[in-house]
Structure 1
Amino acid sequence: MTETAPPPEDLVRAVRAVGITDERLLEAVRATPRAAFVPAGHRTRAYADAPVPIGHEQVTTQPSLSATMIEGLDLSGDEHVLEIGTGLGFQTALLARLAADVVSIELWPDLSRQAGDNLARQGIRNVELRVGDGSGGVPERAPYDAIIVSAAFPEVAAPLAGQLRVGGRLVQPIGPGGRDRVVAFRRTAKDLERRRVLTPARFVRLRGRYGFPA
């Protein structure tokens, strides 16, 4: 049983308004109560299409932006997915509804613990949570069919590109943090091929050994 009622259609309409047409993704947004994935003091804002502060100078990704990034992964349902930046787990929950399983890594242990509690209360069990430096990925669980990076860096970190299988997709905000472009890539036999820009956006910086200094 879910802790919170499903989100109102307002959030689904906001996601449709930015051009999302994937019905599986729209149904995942409809079925995932965002109020269960934000701090208690912000639950009245949960179904606005806007970021919410979660501590550590971090915010949740705007739902329509998460949906745009997820749609860029072209998920069909059988993928092994890596998520960089768990936050409080809302985007993780959407990915879990759309893929076979998700490995999600978060820099902040308290956020990862809260995300785990949030996901468990929603009965979502096909997620493995890790705490650590997301810029290095999770190599022992590679290769991945899809990788989504919820933090900005001017290029894709080499370990992340290396953990993506040939034919796999990666979506990441490319830029300095705060003035970025979300880009969809595909791994070829030779390298990581830039496919298209999905949207301009503002993201926190990717911190870690292969990102900006922590």
Structure 2
Amino acid sequence: MTPEDTMRLLVALRSRGVTNMRVLTAMEQVDRARFVSPTFAARAFEDVPLPVASGQTISQPSVVGLMTQALDPQPRDKVLEVGTGTGYQAAILSKLARRVYTVERHRALTRLARVNHAALGLTNITQITGDGSHGLEEQAPFDRILVTAAAEDTPGPLLAQLRIGGSMVLPVGVSDHVQTLIKVTRTADGYEYDELSPVRFVPLVEGVEHD
């Protein structure tokens, strides 16, 4: 990542509302080029989503930044990410939280993310192939949960695995065209919901792909 690449990325992030300095610093430290295919390496620092293996996409940096900012992970937090992809979002979370568990339904992507994280020396991430819609009960409760695929409604198992006082950020919507990024905070009395912004994500799919 050249200084010019970094500056271009930071300008794009700030212009779209990513202002949290911890988040900006974490994103500055993670080279997005490692998480895209060589075909798209030259575009790694553009604020656009790009295709990756298994028919998935890597989100545009500003969406990653806004979701991370909304999640607001703290240095002692245990975080669950649903939808690892090639591992870019988990790498950023690893700079901000104590421990990151990330679940991916495509085995090939889990393997790729593991290689990417190892190459960057990120040792506080655990990559798991599984059905993320069920969360990761054996490691619950979590301080923060981030979902990078759109569900029709907030998955009940994920709500149940959120610590009281913890929060979850995820896109919800019934189609590819109508999705809203929401933040759910668990309180002693239940759950509080805040709508953040319109977004567009791949759907949250149950089951595991044996690719």
> Given the two structures, how large is their TM-score scaled by the length of structure 2?
0.93
Candidates 169, 183, 191, aligned match of 2:167: 169
- Ranges in structure 1 where 5+ consecutive residues have no aligned partner: 210-214
In structure 2, what is the equivalent of residue 49 of structure 1?
47
Deviations 1:74-131 (A, max 9, x none): 2221110000000001111100001111000000000110011011111111000100
After the TM superposition, which segments of 4 or more aligned residues of structure 1 sit over 3 Å from their partners? 4-7
Identity %: 39
Is structure 2 residue 209 aligned with structure 1 residue 189?
A: no
Amino acid at match of 2:85: G
* Contact 1:73–1:171 under 8 Å retained in 2: yes
Offset at residue 9 of structure 1 (A): 1.3
> Aligned to 2:203, what secondary structure does the other structure show?
coil
Distance across 1 between alignment mates of 2:53 and 2:197: 25
SS at match of 1:8: helix
Alignment partner, residue 25 of structure 1: 23
Question: Shift of residue 5 of structure 1?
Answer: 5.7
Normalising to structure 1: TM-score of the pair?
A: 0.92
Query: Helix, strand or coil for the counterpart of 1:43?
Result: helix
CA distance 1:125–1:39, change in 2 (3 Å): same
- The residue that corresponds to 1:114 in the other structure is 112
Query: RMSD in angstroms over aligned alpha carbons?
Result: 1.3
- The answer for unaligned runs of 5 or more in structure 2 is none
Change (3 A) 1:149 1:160: same
Are the aligned partners of 2:81 and 2:146 in contact in 1 as well (CA < 8 Å)?
yes
Q: For the residues of structure 1 that align with 2:49 and 2:98, how far apart are their CA atoms?
A: 27
What is the distance in 2 between the residues matched to 1:33 and 1:83?
A: 19
Aligned residue for 1:152, secondary structure, equals coil
